[in-house]
Structure 1
Amino acid sequence: MYKVFVNNTPIILSTKKEIEGYKTLLVKEVDFEKIIKKIEKGEAAGKLVKYHFYHKNEEKLMEHLYSKLPVVIAGGGKVYNKEHEVLFIKRNGKWDLPKGKAEKKEDIETTAIREVEEETGVQNLEITKFLYHTYHIFKRNGEYRLKVTYWFEMTTDYDKKLIPQEDEGITKVKWKNPEQTKKALQKSYANIQDLFSQKYKS
């Protein structure tokens, strides 16, 4: 099962024929832009519009998804310091994790490390493991696009000044302990919340 977020509303993609409470559509027949607009209209009216895209074959499910919109590949990091605090950025009034678009011929691990360095000033980053992908829809130049972000857990011994990348709209960079992380996630995005265990969200 996969979640593709339109703002904070998830579209579920799965090989199940039905999911209770969701309107099921065959993924190959979906008019994605039409669905996105219905979800956005629902959000504006304070109503959650719930869709489930189905295909019996998981590989075909993702093939059809990738064919619906232009795809942007990005890499990001859930970074821990020696005190086991998590590195957060603040952009557009929301707490987020550092991430960004891959450059041509750049492997995704390099993308993730570079973007964390550029957005926060943190160095000496080491990837400890791949976490998973998140998917969300955004609009650029009047066109909807699908961003697929590869998230990695990272560690660092960096303890110097944090530098927000202001030209990317980042206003703050902070290390947050578990209690602070829990509060930050209340003012974050649903796809970022999914990168944390339930204890941070309850």
Structure 2
Amino acid sequence: MYKVFVNNTPIILSTKKSIEDYQTIPIKEADFSTIIRDILNKEAMHEEARYHLYHKKEDRLIEHLYTKLPVVVAGGGKVYNAQKEILFIKRNGKWDLPKGKVEKKEDTETAAIREVEEETGVMGLEITKFLYRSFHVFKRNGEFRLKVTYWFEMKTDYEGELVPQKEEGITKVKWKNTKKAKKALQDSYANIKLLFSHDYLS
């Protein structure tokens, strides 16, 4: 199962023929622009849109998804320091984790490390494991696009200054312990919250 987020509303992709209380559409037939607009309209009216896109083969779900919208690939990091604190950034008024677009001839691991360094000033990063791919829809130049972010767990012994990349709209960079991280997640995004749950393992 996969979740494609439009703001905080997930579109469910799965091999199940139906999910209770969800409108099921074969993914081959799904008009993403129509679905996205319906979700945004319902959100504006404080209503909930529930869409489930189906294909009997799991690998075909992603194949078809990538044909529906222009795809932007990104890399990001869930970074721990020596005190087991997690690195957060504040962007557009919400707590987030550092991430950014993969450049040409760059792999996702390299991009993830580079973006964390650029957005936070943290150095000495080492990837410890791949976490999962998140999917969310955004709009640029009047066009809906699909951002696919490859998330990596990282560690560092860096104890230097934290420097928010202001030209990217980042206003704060903070190390947060478990208690403060939970509080920050209350003012974050649904696809970031997944990184702190076990949903991405299902």
TM-score by structure 2 length? 0.97
Instruction: Give the AA of the match of 1:19.
Output: I
Does residue 37 of structure 1 match 2:34? no
CA offset digits 1:163-200 (Å, max 9, x no partner): 000000000000000000000000000000000037xx
Q: 1:20 — aligned with what? A: 20
- Following TM superposition, the consecutive aligned residue runs of length 4 or more in structure 1 with deviations greater than 4 angstroms are none
SS at match of 2:105: coil
SS at match of 1:194: helix
Q: 1:134 — aligned with what? A: 134
Q: 1:193 — aligned with what? A: 193
Q: 1:125 — aligned with what? A: 125
CA offset digits 1:10-47 (Å, max 9, x no partner): 00000000011110001000110010000000000001
Q: 2:162 — aligned with what? A: 162
d(CA) in 2 for partners of 1:4, 1:75: 17
d(CA) in 1 for partners of 2:178, 2:158: 19
Q: 1:89 — aligned with what? A: 89
d(CA) in 2 for partners of 1:84, 1:96: 18
Q: Percent identity?
A: 72
Instruction: Give the AA of the match of 1:90.
Output: K
TM-score by structure 1 length? 0.97
Provide the alpha-carbon RMSD of the alignment: 0.7
d(CA) in 2 for partners of 1:61, 1:113: 29
Q: 2:55 — aligned with what? A: 55
d(CA) in 1 for partners of 2:159, 2:91: 22
SS at match of 1:195: helix
Q: 1:150 — aligned with what? A: 150
Q: 2:8 — aligned with what? A: 8
d(CA) in 2 for partners of 1:197, 1:16: 22
Gaps of 5+ in 2: none
Q: 1:65 — aligned with what? A: 65
Q: 2:180 — aligned with what? A: 180
Alpha-carbon distance, 1:59 to partner: 1.4
Gaps of 5+ in 1: none
Instruction: Give the AA of the match of 1:192.
Output: I
SS at match of 2:195: coil
CA offset digits 1:117-159 (Å, max 9, x no partner): 0000000000000000000000000000000000000000000
Instruction: Give the AA of the match of 1:30.
Output: A
